Structure 1
Amino acid sequence: MSAITVSNLSKTFGKNRALDKVSLTVERGEMVALIGASGSGKSTLIRHIAGLETADNKGGRIDVLGDLCQDGGRLNPRLKRGRISVIFQQFNLVGRLSVMTNVLIGHLGRTPRWRGTLGVFNRDEKLKAHAALDRVGIPQVFAQRSSTLSGGQQQRAAIARTLVQEAEILIADEPISALDPSSARRVMDVLSSINSEDGITVVVSLHQVEYARRYCPRTIAMRDGAVVYDGPSTALSNEFLAELYGAASEELVLPDAPAGQAAPAAAAAERERPRAELELA
Structure 2
Amino acid sequence: MADVRVEELSKSFSGQKALNAVSLSVEAGEMVALIGASGSGKSTLIRHIAGLVRGDARGGLVRIGERTMQHNGRLSADAKTIRRGVGVIFQQFNLVNRLAVITNVLVGVLGHVPQWRGTLGLFTRAEKQAALVALDRVGIAHTAHRRASTLSGGQQQRAAIARALVQKAKVILADEPIASLDPASAKKVMETLATINRDEGITVLVSLHQVEYARRYCPRTIALRDGAVAFDGPSTALTSDFLKELYGEASEELVLPDAPFQPHASREGILHGPKLATA
State TM-score, norm by structure 1.
0.94
Report the residue type matching 1:47 in the other structure: R
What CA distance in whole angstroms lies between the structure 1 residues aligned with 2:144 and 2:162? 11
Unaligned runs of 5+ in 1: 263-269
Instruction: Specify the code of the residue in structure 2 equivalent to 1:203.
Output: L
Compute the displacement of 1:273 (Å): 3.6
Q: Whole-Å Cα distance in 1 between the matches of residues 271 and 225 of structure 2? A: 14
Partner of 1:85: 87
SS at match of 1:203: strand
Q: Compute the displacement of 1:272 (Å).
A: 9.4
Secondary structure of the 2:271 match is coil
**Aligned residue number for residue 266 of structure 1:** none
1-structure distance, mates of 2:113, 2:257: 47
Q: Distance in 2 between matches of 1:277 and 1:7?
A: 17
CA distance, structure 1, for counterparts of residue 56 and residue 107 of structure 2 = 33
Deviation at 1:169, TM superposition (A): 0.2
Where does residue 265 of structure 1 map in the other structure? none
Contact 2:21-2:59 within 8 A present in 1 as well? no
Superposition deviation, residue 257 in structure 1: 1.3
Distance 1:188 1:205 in 2: 11
Distance change >3 Å, CA 104–CA 137, structure 1 → 2: same
Matched, 1:14 2:8: no
Q: Structure 2 residue aligned with 1:237, among 214, 236, 239? A: 239
Where do 1:254-273 residues align within 5 Å?
Answer: 254-260=256-262, 273=268
Residue 279 in 1 paired to residue 278 in 2? Answer: no
Structure 1 residues 239 and 261: CA distance shift in structure 2, 3 A: closer
Is the counterpart of residue 143 in structure 1 residue 145 in structure 2?
A: yes
Measured after TM superposition, the shift of residue 256 of structure 1 is 2.2
Aligned residues: 273
8 Å Cα contact 1:11-1:18 kept in structure 2: yes
Task: Deviation per CA, 1:140-164: give whole Å up to 9, x if none.
Answer: 1111110111100000000000000
Cα distance change, pair 238–145 in 1 and its aligned pair in 2 (3 A) = same
Q: Is the 8 A contact 1:216 1:233 kept in 2?
A: yes
CA contact (8 A) 1:213 1:261 kept: no
**Equivalent runs, 1:67-78 vs 2, <5 Å:** 67-78=67-78
| CA distance in structure 2 between the aligned counterparts of 1:187 and 1:88, rounded to whole angstroms | 12
Shift of 1:107: 0.8
Correspondence for 1:159 among 161, 168, 171: 161
Q: Is the 8 A contact 2:31 2:203 kept in 1?
A: yes
Displaced runs of 4 or more, over 2 A: 270-273, 277-281
Identity %: 62
Deviations 1:166-204 (A, max 9, x none): 000000000001000000000000000000000000000
Task: Determine the C-alpha separation between the residues in 2 that align with 1:156 and 1:280.
Answer: 40
Q: Normalising by structure 2, report the TM-score.
A: 0.95
Q: Give the residue type in structure 1 aligned to 2:124.
A: N
CA contact (8 A) 2:35 2:211 kept: yes
Aligned to 1:61: 61
What do you get for the CA RMSD once the two structures are aligned? 1.6
- 1:12-34 deviations in Å (ceiling 9; x for gaps): 10132100110111110000000
Q: Does 1:132 align with 2:134?
A: yes
Aligned to 1:183: 185
What residue number does 1:24 align with?
A: 24
Deviation of 1:113 after TM superposition, in Å, equals 1.4
When residues 190 and 251 of structure 1 are mapped into structure 2, their CA distance, relative to the original with a 3 A threshold, is same
Residues 179 and 17 from structure 1, CA distance in 2 versus in 1: closer, same or farther, beyond 3 angstroms?
A: same
State the one-letter code of the partner of 2:196: I
CA distance in 1, matches of 2:8, 2:17: 14
Deviations 1:232-259 (Å, cap 9, x if unpaired)?
Answer: 0000000000000000000000012112
Distance, in Å, in 2 between the alignment partners of 1:238 and 1:271 is 13
For residue 168 of structure 1, what is the aligned residue in structure 2? 170
- 1:59, CA displacement in angstroms? 5.2
Query: What is the one-letter code of the residue matched to 1:20?
Result: N
* Aligned-partner Cα distance in 1 for 2:141–2:267: 39
Q: Is the 8 Å Cα contact of residues 82 and 167 (structure 1) preserved in structure 2? A: yes
> 1:59 & 1:233 partners in 2: Cα distance?
28
Alpha-carbon contact 2:237-2:266 (below 8 Å) kept: no
Change in CA separation of 1:200 and 1:271 when aligned onto 2, cut-off 3 Å? farther
Does structure 2 retain, via aligned residues, the 8 Å contact 1:234–1:261?
no
